[in-house]
Every structure is written in structure tokens, then in C-alpha cells.
């Protein structure tokens, strides 16, 4: 199962080696993080990032190993933006010459970059950005300027204190004419003494949600006061500005300017399963240790994992972790394919890839953030302790619902793709993830054939149910949209239904990828049978949760919906015997989990007790402030009593 989770034996070995490397090195200790102040926390992160870079070089780690190393260090920092956004932006949007100049500097970290797109006034609406880049023909330069307060760049990670360079997105102006938003490579700091370059105002935007997690990152604010950069620092793969000031667009679609976001959204989907599996691992192990009620004849009480209600909350999350792992793996292969095509100037699969990355990013991050919080509740009161590992994990993870495309905004992008696909149905056969929309007639006409609960243990029945639900919702939206004279008005009016239809489409993708995975690549029959159970749990849980959609579209009868639920409950008892094996297969080490409740050895209570005594408040019996602020109250009380 560990191999199935990792994707291959080699992938397992690489991640396992890096997990152990991090866990066994005292530099990467992280239990004390919550006690550190912001400055110490930040410096500590800088120290770890520098040490990690040394390890990567000394041990000659491959790119894959370096990624895993950074992952297990488990602290957001400037290198995330450098490797995940700055470098890919140059790779995807730079010309050959630009790549030749900038990539070697970035890849050896002689420069450190960030991605400065979002502003105080605009994040989702990229075309609404206000920073300007005005071409000056006399000097062959662009003048970068922040004309308003709301044009201040706001959020870029690593920008406040570390990055020496940034890809800055700004409106291009030539001879007073706007040419849309483009990316520019801008140096922010001196490579000698690290001070901000003249004309730039740089700072940190302040503390964020949680304590020891995202506050390790220096998210920054940046303002330009007429800062000049050479013309050749505009990323020019998509459009070019000549030294005469002529603006030209190549055959490459404008959307490629957004390519870095596609790349990171793909990574975010791949990472969702890591965060969810971490929470599920903690909650499952603890649910086996924790006992409440049910003692008979003085025997042990019931393990809370044996309560049906606990199982009904926990096991769908366990199944979701596996579903997200497989859909992340699938999306990565789709992305690798589109990347190769883009390099060869084949843009045909970009719209579908954009819809998949946007939609799956929204689906997986929302479910993961909610799932982590549910796991915290599944651990009862102890889940609220920082030492459970769950509050900090939630604080770390939840911004994923907003960054890299706010989730609702992303689902609306999926809706645009689906509406377009439906309106082209007469003359263009949909392919890939939208292929089912080419079979609308049977999907709209045929109804579910399930007659018993066992009938739901059938991938074809499940797939058809999800296809019919998505097709009916999408087609329904298409028909209602057609009644509007102004399509944009119609889109806005129907946006709630469109987001629901997009979710149905994305859930269909996750379910069908899980089923495909079972049909092809599972090593060993026992593993395959166990994963089949999880696949059914995932699908039937979604069916139960969204049964309103399945019933309202008329595909299922209420009886068939309740048979699905009956089967789901039966499946929980099949998950139970393997629950611990399923979470051990994630191969999460205690260091990575950073949780007293999720310890591999189950030694929860002594370690909880021990952890409590490490709190600074327990350094002495009478702490600072007691004499000054508590004792006077106690004495005052005495005074009133005398009165
Ligand atoms: C460190 C902890 C991390 C934990 C998790 C692990 C992950 C590790 C990985 C990386 C670490 C990074 C850490 C996160 C740092 C965060 C960074 C950021 O947030 S960067 C900023 C991100 N900003 C956004 O995402 C902005 C969202 N907005 C947009 O993308 C666009 O504005 C829009 C909403 C899509 C609208 O675009 P536009 O105004 O142009 O209008 P439309 O008319 O809707 O679009 C025109 C056509 O273009 C198509 N389109 C849009 N986007 C794309 C795209 N990306 N690719 C291809 N095509 C695209 C759109 O569909 C339209 O098509 P048609 O309808 O004309 O066919
Ligand atoms: C931790 C973190 C790290 C970040 N790192 C970076 C970074 O490195 N670089 C960078 O450039 N940016 C970064 N960002 C910024 C991030 O990309 C934006 O916050 C994100 O894109 C969301 O945009 P917004 O803040 O403008 O949200 P808004 O768009 O203002 O969203 C507010 C609300 O409005 C709704 N809404 C907006 N538009 C629509 C619409 N058309 N239809 C319906 N509803 C709508 C949304 O659903 C949401 O509910 C980071 C953000 C965070 C939280």
C-alpha cells in the first residue's frame, strides 16, 4: 500500500529517504516553533533554508529529492516562491535569450526571486492590476510605478525581507496606450548589501492567521516610485516590445501569461493529499487510542474509532486523502503533457488543463481545509492543543483556499469552460474530461438501474451516476443561459448554479480517476481490494452528501439514494480493520506529523503530559504578573469582605 500511495517503489524510496534525513537532523527540530516570537521564528526559518540549500549541494540531491527535502522541513519560506513561481515564470514566459540569462542565476540561487502579482486593491482580477510599466523610447527602458495606494503589491511571499528579484505584473503602456498586464523581471535589492534599491518601498504585511506556520514567511508590500528597468526585462515570449516602441503579439495565446498559475495549481492539488493524509493519520491513530464509555464488567471502554458516527466522519476523509493523491498524480501527468505541447507551440489542450487545474485546486483545497478541521474535532478537546499538530496544520493550510486563485473564482473558470463546451456541441466533439458531455442523450434519458445496496458496488453504476448528475446540471445551466440576451449577464445571474455544476464536474473527475487507478496500476490483489473499498466509500459519500443534486436532476429515485447510503454504512465496517494500515501507508514520520496524538507508538497520554510541562508558563510556579496583577485583586477581595 505504501508503494500504491507513493506511486512507485522508486518514488517511495526517494520520499522515505528525505523524510528520514530531515527527521534525524536536529537542525530541523520544530516542536519548539510555537513558542518563538516572530523575529526568532523568521530567523530560524532562514537558518533552516540555508542549511537545506547546503545539504542539497553537498549531497548532490536531484530536483525530486530537493523537493521532498523542502516538503519535510515543513516551513513555508521564500524558497517556495523562488522554485515554484519565479523559476517557472521565466521558464514559461521568457524568450530563449531571457532563459539563458536568468535561469542559471536563479537555479544556483545567485538571485532569489518572488512572484509579485497581487495588489492591495486587486488579487482575483488580474486585468484590474494598477501598477504601470511605461515604455521610455529615449532610454530603452520601462518605468515601473505605483500610481495609487491600492496599486501597492501586497502578499508576495519572500518579498518583504529576502527576495532580490521579482516577476512583477504591471499594465504595459506605450505612447499612452494600454496593452494589458505583462510580467517584468525587476531587481528589488542590492546583491552586495541586500538593501532595497532606490525608488522602492519594501516591507512585511504583518502577522497572519495561526502562529508558527505561515508567519515563517515574509509576505511583502512593494511600491515603485518611477523605477527604471531595461526593456529586455519584460518577459517576451507572449508579446514583444521593440526598441522603437512597437508592440507585437506572437502566435502564443495571451493566456500563457497565466501559465505559472496553472503550474502551481497543479502542485497544490498534488499537495492537498499530503495535508489531508497528515490530519487523517493523526485522527485515526488517536481514535484507536482514545476510549470513552461502553465498559462492560469492568473491562476496557470502547475505542472511539468503533463508534459508527466517528467512522462516518473519519473514513470518508481517509478515502478522500487517497482520492486526492490519485487525482494529483493524474493531474501532474496531464500537466507534463501540456507543458511539452506548449514548448512545441501546441496550445490545443490548454483550456482543458486550465479548467482541470483551477477546478481541482478549488475542490481539493476546500475539502482538505474542512477535513483538517473535522479531524481536529474528531480528536475532541485534545485536538485543540497545539501539541496535537492539528491547529497549526489548519492555519498553514487554509489560505490555500484563497491563494493561487480564490476557490469560487476558480470554479467560475471551470463553468466558462463547460458552458463553452456545451455551446460548441453541435460541431465539436468534446474530449478528455469533458468527453461525457458528448453523450448527453443517454445521460439525460437513462435513469439509474440500481435495485439493491450491493448493486452500488459497481464502478459502471457509480460512474454513470456521476456523469448523469454533472451532465444534467451543466446542460440545465446551458439551457437557462441561452434565454439571456446578454450572455455575461446570464452568467452572473446563474453563477450559483454554475459553481454547483462545476463542482459536480470536478467530483466526476476525481471519482473516475480513482476508478481508473484501480483498473490499471495497483500492485497486489489485497491492496487492490482494500483500495476498492475506499473508492466506493469516496464515491458513495459524495453521492450521499450531494444526494439533492442526484435526486433533483431525476437520475436517482429516493429509494436508490437510500440504498447507496445503506451500502456506504456497510463499507465503513470493511474499512475499520485496515484503518491503521491505511494511515501507516502514508509513511508519515513522527517528526513530520509533529503531533502527540498521532504518534506511531500510540503512547499518547504520557507524552501529552510531558509536552504540557514544556510550556514556558510551567517554568515556575509563580510567574511574572501574578504579584503585580493577581495578588492585589485577592487582597482587595479581602478588603470588601471586611466591609
Ligand atoms: C508554502 C505553503 C504551500 C502549501 C501548499 C503546497 C503548494 C506548494 C506550491 C507552491 C507554493 C506557493 C505558495 C503559494 C503562494 C501563492 C501565490 C499566489 O497566490 S500568486 C497570485 C495568484 N493569483 C491568482 O490566482 C489570480 C486569479 N485570477 C486569474 O487567474 C484571472 O484573473 C482569471 C480569474 C482567470 C480571469 O482572467 P481574465 O481576466 O483574463 O478573464 P477571463 O475572460 O475570465 O479569461 C480569458 C480567457 O483566458 C482563460 N484563462 C484564464 N486563466 C487561464 C490560465 N491560467 N490558463 C489558461 N487559460 C486561462 C479563460 O478561461 C478565458 O478563456 P476563454 O473563455 O476566452 O476561452
Ligand atoms: C498566504 C497567502 C500567500 C500569498 N502569496 C502570494 C504571492 O506570493 N504572490 C501574489 O501575487 N499573491 C499572493 N497571494 C495573494 C492571493 O493570490 C490572492 O489573495 C488571491 O488570488 C485571492 O484574491 P483576493 O485576495 O483579491 O480575493 P478577492 O477576489 O477579493 O475575494 C474576496 C471574495 O470575493 C469573491 N469574488 C471575487 N471575484 C468574484 C467574482 N468574479 N465572482 C464571484 N465572487 C467573486 C471571492 O469568492 C471571495 O469570496 C497570497 C495570498 C495568501 C493568503
Q: Determine if ligand 1 sits within 6 Å of the CB of residue 368.
A: no
Does residue 529 have a pLDDT over 80? yes
Residue nearest to atom 40 of ligand 2 (CA): 409
Q: Is 354 in the pocket of ligand 1 (CB under 6 A)?
A: yes
Which residue, judged by its Cα, is nearest atom 3 of ligand 1? 76
How confident is the model over 89-124, as pLDDT tens digits?
999 999 999 999 999 999 999 999 999 999 999 999
DSSP 197: P
Model pLDDT, residue 272: 98
Share of the chain above pLDDT 70, in %: 99
**Confidence bin at 638 (pLDDT 50/70/90):** low
637 has a pLDDT exceeding 70 = no
Q: Where are the domains positioned within the chain?
A: 89-250, 259-584
DSSP per-residue string spanning 273-298: HHHHHHHHHHHHHHHHH-B-S---TT
| pLDDT computed for residue 33 by the predictor | 87
Residue of 406, 412, 414, 498 to mutate, ligand 2, most atoms within 8 A of C-beta: 406
Q: Across the strands, what pairs with 142? A: 135, 229
Residue ID of nearest Cα to ligand 1 atom 61: 413
* Across 409-414, average pLDDT: 98
For residue 253, which ligand has an atom nearest its CA?
1
For position 523, what pLDDT does the model report?
76
Which residues is 113 bridged to in the sheet? 165
Ligand lying nearest the CA atom of residue 206 = 2
Which pLDDT score is estimated for 163?
98
∠ CA 282-288-290, rounded to 5°: 90
Active site residues: 404
The pLDDT tens digits for 125-165 are: 999 999 999 999 999 999 999 999 999 999 999 999 999 99
d(CA 270, CA 325): 6
Number of alpha carbons in the 13 Å side-chain half-sphere of residue 351: 13
Orientation of helix 350-378 relative to helix 390-397, angle to 10°:
160
259-584 topology per CATH: Butyryl-CoA Dehydrogenase, subunit A; domain 3 (1.20.140)
Q: What is the pLDDT of residues 280-335, one digit of tens each?
A: 999 999 999 999 999 998 999 999 999 999 999 999 999 999 999 999 999 999 99
Give the other-Cβ count within 10 Å of 512's Cβ: 20
- Asked whether the predicted pLDDT for residue 573 surpasses 60, the reply is yes
Q: Is 209 helix (H, G, I), strand (E, B) or coil?
A: coil
Scanning 7-129, the segments in alpha helix (DSSP H) are: 9-23, 38-58, 63-73, 78-81, 87-93, 96-107
pLDDT at 639 over 60: no
Q: Which residues of 79-99 are buried (b: 16+ CB within 10 A; e: fewer)?
A: bbbbbbbbbbbbbbbbbeebb
**pLDDT number for residue 522:** 82
Biggest distance spanned by C-alpha atoms of the chain: 93
Ligand 1 center from residue 126 Cα (angstroms): 8
**d(Cα 380, Cα 283) in Å, to the nearest integer?**
10
Among 15-24, 205-214, 409-418, which is the least confidently predicted range?
205-214
Among 268, 548, 260, 558, smallest CA distance to 398 is for 268
CA separation, residue 458 to residues 399, 455, 485, 553, 564 (Å): 37, 6, 43, 21, 11
What's the pTM?
A: 0.97
* Per-residue pLDDT at 102: 98
- pLDDT tops 90 at residue 252: no
| Cα-Cα-Cα-Cα dihedral sign, residues 89, 408, 490, 422 | positive
Q: Residue with the nearest Cα to atom 5 of ligand 1? A: 268
Ligand sitting nearest the alpha carbon of 216 = 1
Q: Which pLDDT value is given to residue 542?
A: 98
* Cα of 401 from ligand 1 centre, angstroms: 13
pLDDT at 640 over 70: no
154 pairs with which residues across the strands? 221
DSSP 574-599: HHGGGHHHHHHTT---HHHH--STT-
DSSP symbol at 249: E
Give me ligand 1 centre to Cα 359, in Å: 11
**Which residue reads 540549500 in cell numbers?**
53
Architecture per CATH, domain 89-250, reads as: Beta Barrel (2.40)
405: CA distance to ligand 2 center in Å? 6
Residue range 347-376, pLDDT digits in tens: 999 999 999 999 999 999 999 999 999 999
Q: Can you tell me the mean pLDDT for 594-618?
A: 97
Instruction: Please work out whether the CB of residue 262 comes within 6 Å of at least one atom of ligand 1.
Output: yes
Which of 403, 410, 489, 497 for mutating ligand 2's site (highest number of atoms within 8 Å of CB)?
Answer: 403
Mean pLDDT of 440-464: 97
pLDDT above 90: residue 250: no
Residues 322/531, Cβ–Cβ less than 8 Å: yes
Would you say 575 and 582 are in contact if contact means Cβ atoms under 8 Å apart? Answer: yes
Q: What is the mean pLDDT of residues 34-57?
A: 96
3-class DSSP assignment, residue 302: coil
Q: Is the CB of 403 under 6 A from ligand 2?
A: yes
> Three-state DSSP class for 164?
coil
Strand partners, 182: 170
State the Cα–Cα distance between residues 186 and 381, nearest whole angstrom.
Answer: 49
Coil, helix or strand at residue 404: coil
Q: What is the pLDDT of residues 495-508, one digit of tens each?
A: 999 999 999 999 99
Amino acid at each position: 500500500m505504501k508503494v500504491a500511495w507513493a506511486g512507485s517503489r522508486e518514488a517511495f524510496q526517494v520520499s522515505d529517504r528525505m523524510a528520514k534525513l530531515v527527521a534525524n537532523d536536529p537542525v530541523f527540530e520544530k516542536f519548539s516553533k510555537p513558542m518563538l516570537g516572530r523575529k526568532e521564528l523568521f530567523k530560524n526559518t532562514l537558518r533552516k533554508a540555508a542549511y537545506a540549500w547546503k545539504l542539497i549541494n553537498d549531497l548532490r540531491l536531484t530536483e525530486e529529492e530537493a523537493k521532498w527535502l523542502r516538503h519535510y522541513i515543513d516551513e513555508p519560506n521564500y524558497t517556495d516562491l523562488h522554485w515554484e513561481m519565479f523559476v517557472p515564470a521565466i521558464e514559461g514566459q521568457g524568450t530563449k535569450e531571457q532563459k539563458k540569462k536568468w535561469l542559471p542565476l536563479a537555479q544556483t540561487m545567485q538571485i532569489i526571486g518572488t512572484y509579485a502579482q497581487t495588489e492591495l486593491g486587486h488579487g482575483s482580477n488580474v486585468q484590474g492590476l494598477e501598477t504601470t510599466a511605461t515604455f521610455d523610447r529615449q532610454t530603452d527602458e520601462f518605468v515601473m510605478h505605483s500610481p495609487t495606494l491600492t496599486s501597492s503589491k501586497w502578499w508576495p511571499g519572500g518579498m518583504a525581507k529576502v527576495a532580490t528579484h521579482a516577476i512583477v505584473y504591471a499594465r504595459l503602456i506605450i505612447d499612452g496606450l494600454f496593452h494589458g498586464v505583462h510580467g517584468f523581471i525587476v531587481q528589488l535589492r542590492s546583491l552586495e548589501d541586500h538593501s532595497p534599491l532606490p525608488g522602492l518601498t519594501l516591507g512585511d504585511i504583518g502577522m497572519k492567521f495561526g502562529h508558527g506556520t505561515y508567519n515563517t514567511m515574509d509576505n511583502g508590500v512593494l511600491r515603485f516610485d518611477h523605477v527604471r528597468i531595461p526593456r529586455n526585462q519584460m518577459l517576451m515570449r507572449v508579446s514583444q516590445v521593440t526598441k522603437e516602441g512597437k508592440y507585437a503579439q506572437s502566435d502564443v495565446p495571451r493566456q500563457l501569461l497565466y501559465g505559472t498559475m496553472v503550474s502551481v495549481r497543479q502542485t497544490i492539488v498534488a499537495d492537498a493529499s499530503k495535508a489531508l493524509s497528515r490530519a487523517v493519520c493523526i485522527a485515526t491513530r488517536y481514535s484507536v487510542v482514545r476510549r470513552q464509555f461502553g465498559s462492560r464488567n469492568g473491562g476496557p471502554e470502547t475505542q472511539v474509532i468503533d463508534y459508527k458516527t466517528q467512522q462516518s466522519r473519519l473514513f470518508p476523509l481517509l478515502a478522500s486523502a487517497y482520492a486526492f493523491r490519485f487525482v494529483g498524480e493524474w493531474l501532474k501527468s496531464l500537466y507534463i503533457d501540456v507543458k511539452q505541447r506548449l514548448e512545441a507551440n501546441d496550445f490545443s489542450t490548454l483550456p482543458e488543463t486550465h479548467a482541470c487545474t483551477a477546478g481541482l485546486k478549488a475542490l481539493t483545497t476546500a475539502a482538505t481545509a474542512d477535513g483538517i478541521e473535522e479531524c481536529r474535532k474528531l480528536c475532541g478537546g485534545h485536538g485543540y492543543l497545539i501539541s496535537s499538530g492539528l491547529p497549526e496544520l489548519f492555519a498553514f493550510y487554509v489560505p490555500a483556499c484563497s491563494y493561487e486563485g480564490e476557490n469560487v473564482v476558480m470554479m467560475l473558470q471551470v463553468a466558462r469552460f463547460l458552458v463553452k463546451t456545451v455551446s460548441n456541441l453541435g460541431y465539436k466533439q468534446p474530449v478528455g474530461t469533458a468527453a461525457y458531455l458528448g453523450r448527453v442523450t443517454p445521460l439525460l434519458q437513462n435513469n439509474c438501474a440500481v435495485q439493491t445496496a450491493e448493486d452500488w458496488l459497481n464502478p459502471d453504476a457509480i460512474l454513470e451516476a456521476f456523469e448523469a448528475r454533472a451532465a444534467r446540471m451543466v446542460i440545465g445551466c446551458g439551457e437557462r443561459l441561452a434565454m439571456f440576451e446578454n450572455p455575461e449577464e446570464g452568467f452572473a445571474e446563474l453563477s450559483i448554479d454554475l459553481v454547483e455544476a462545476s463542482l459536480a464536474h470536478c467530483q466526476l473527475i476525481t471519482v473516475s480517476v480513482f476508478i481508473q487507478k484501480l483498473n490499471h496500476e495497483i500492485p497486489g490483489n489485497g491492496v487492490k481490494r482494500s483500495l476498492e473499498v475506499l473508492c466506493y466509500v469516496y464515491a458513495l459519500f459524495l453521492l450521499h452528501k450531494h444526494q439533492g443534486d442526484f435526486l433533483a436532476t431525476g437520475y436517482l429515485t429516493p429509494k436508490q439514494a437510500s440504498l447507496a447510503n445503506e451500502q456506504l454504512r456497510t463499507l465503513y465496517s470493511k474499512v475499520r480493520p485496515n484503518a491503521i494500515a491505511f494511515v501507516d501507508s502514508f509513511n508519515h514520520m513522527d517528526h513530520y506529523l509533529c503531533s502527540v496524538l498521532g504518534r506511531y507508538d500510540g503512547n499518547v497520554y504520557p507524552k501529552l503530559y510531558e509536552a504540557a510541562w514544556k510550556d514556558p508558563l510551567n517554568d515556575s510556579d509563580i510567574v511574572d504578573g501574578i504579584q503585580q496583577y493577581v495578588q492585589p485583586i485577592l487582597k482587595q477581595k479581602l478588603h470588601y469582605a471586611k466591609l
